[in-house]
Amino acid sequence: MVSLQSMGLSPAEGTYRRRNILIAGLVLGLGLAAGRVPAQAQEYPDRVIQVIVPFPPGGGTDTVSRAVSDLMGRDLGQPLIVENRGGANGAIGTQMAAAAEPDGYTLYIGNLGTMAITPNLDPNVHYDPLKNFVAITQINASSTVLVVNPKLGIKTFEEFVAYAKANPGKLNYASSSPATILPMEMLKQMAGLDLVHIPYKGSGPAMTDILAGHVDVMFGGALATVPHVKSGALIGLAVAGSTRTKVLPDLPTVAESGYPDFAADSWNGIFAPAGTSPEIIAKLNKAAVVALKDPDVAARMENEGAVVIANSAEDFAAYVTAEHAKWKAVIAALPGDIKLD
């Protein structure tokens, strides 16, 4: 043991020296503590990131999520593992994601249904899409297509509106989900149309019946309707989304056809639990945008009738807020006989 005498220090000098060392150590410790959060943000991520998809495997949202997650993992240096938590129209997985720690290690893939429709339909869901999540980026947008059976003799969107107005209650429309009911109900509200709603339990039976002429009109998914429009089995009138679809580029949007405020895009986006740090959100946004600009990912989405968005976190947050408000108003104005559950 080194003594004060061997160091040439008197007892008083030794006490003074020890006090200075303690003070220096305390200052250094406080400095390290103050710098701890930025250091952690710089190190993120240092382990596997969970990506909650609130639907079963194999669907459109699941497929897109896996493609984007794989590429984000390469950029971030840690794997993103998709976990499917389906049930209750996506509410179960969404509630799980909302309750997760806001540390950047749980992400969530939300869509039009879980973030703008279900919360406005079901007062018993245990999440608030605008309060419980922070936006990262919008993955894509896709559109349904307004089609009619050829037996009606209707060739254009303008002819459809004119015929429906001249024959209130004569035309019926098929639906298979809120995503196909709500665009038609919004169009009815904007154009003042009287159409009879015929609900189906799936898109397959609805498509079968419009092809057979048992129903007159419907909004159908782009992939399902394209072959029938191209063959002439159905007449395409317009697309519901904010932009034309590349799989049917000659079809105008409803907005282009006289109703400029009409836009009914289906979409997917990446979110994190509310409270996740801005530094982590920025890092995730950068990785997601890089992944979405990959040519293979973009081509895959275009082949399915979707377009890549890859916007900023701020722009996506504003879009989600606007979508929530828009569909809340449409749902509030629904006729009493329209059931969306």
Whether residues 188 and 233 fall in one domain: yes
**Is the pLDDT confidence value at 2 over 70?**
no
Alpha helix (H) residue ranges in 35-156: 36-43, 60-76, 91-98, 112, 118-121
**Residue of higher predicted confidence among 123 and 155:** 155
**Is the pLDDT confidence value at 218 over 60?**
yes
Least confident segment among 22-36, 69-83, 172-186, 295-309 = 22-36
pLDDT, tens only, 219-265: 998 888 999 999 999 999 999 999 999 889 999 999 999 999 999 99
Please give the tally of structural domains in the chain. Answer: 2
pLDDT, tens only, 125-157: 999 999 999 999 999 999 899 999 999 999 999
Whether residues 219 and 163 fall in one domain: yes
**Residue of higher predicted confidence among 160 and 61:** 160
Instruction: Please tell me the distance from the alpha carbon of residue 117 to that of residue 271, in angstroms, as a whole number.
Output: 17
Q: State CA 221 to chain mean position distance.
A: 17
Last residue of a domain, one of 235, 257, 279: 257
We report the CATH number of the domain holding residue 193 as 3.40.190.10
Q: Summarize the confidence of residues 13-21 as an average pLDDT.
A: 42
Show the domain range for 156: 143-257
Whether residues 57 and 153 fall in one domain: no
For residue 26, being part of any structural domain is answered with no
DSSP class of 314: H
Residue 5: per-residue pLDDT: 47
**Is the pLDDT confidence value at 17 over 70?**
no
Whether residues 148 and 246 fall in one domain: yes
Q: How far apart are the first and last CA of the chain?
A: 80
Residue type, 273: P
**Which residues of 185-252 form beta strands (DSSP E)?**
196-199, 217-221, 235-239
**Is the pLDDT confidence value at 298 over 60?**
yes
For residue 337, being part of any structural domain is answered with no
Whether residues 203 and 54 fall in one domain: no
Residue 220: per-residue pLDDT: 92
Tell me the Ramachandran region of residue 56: left when phi exceeds 0, alpha when psi lies from -120 to 50, beta otherwise. Answer: beta
Whether residues 250 and 288 fall in one domain: no
Whether residues 50 and 107 fall in one domain: yes
We report the CATH number of the domain holding residue 312 as 3.40.190.150
Q: Give Cα separations from 226 to 158, 160, 167, 216, 271 (angstroms).
A: 21, 19, 28, 17, 31
**Nearest C-alpha neighbor of 94 from the set 325, 323, 288, 273:** 273
Residue 214: per-residue pLDDT: 96
Residue 42: per-residue pLDDT: 66
Question: Which residues have C-beta within 8 Å of that of residue 283, sequence separation ≥ 6?
Answer: 41, 44, 76, 104
Whether residues 125 and 225 fall in one domain: no
**Nearest C-alpha neighbor of 147 from the set 195, 215, 198, 82:** 215
Residue 179: per-residue pLDDT: 82
Given CA atoms 109, 118, 186, 60 in this order, what sign does their dihedral have?
positive
Residue 37: per-residue pLDDT: 45
Rounded mean pLDDT of the chain? 88
Question: Which residues have C-beta within 8 Å of that of residue 180, sequence separation ≥ 6?
Answer: 144, 174, 203, 206, 218, 219, 220
Whether residues 60 and 201 fall in one domain: no
Task: Kindly indicate the confidence band of residue 29, based on its pLDDT and cuts at 50, 70 and 90.
Answer: very low
Whether residues 130 and 148 fall in one domain: no
Whether residues 233 and 298 fall in one domain: no
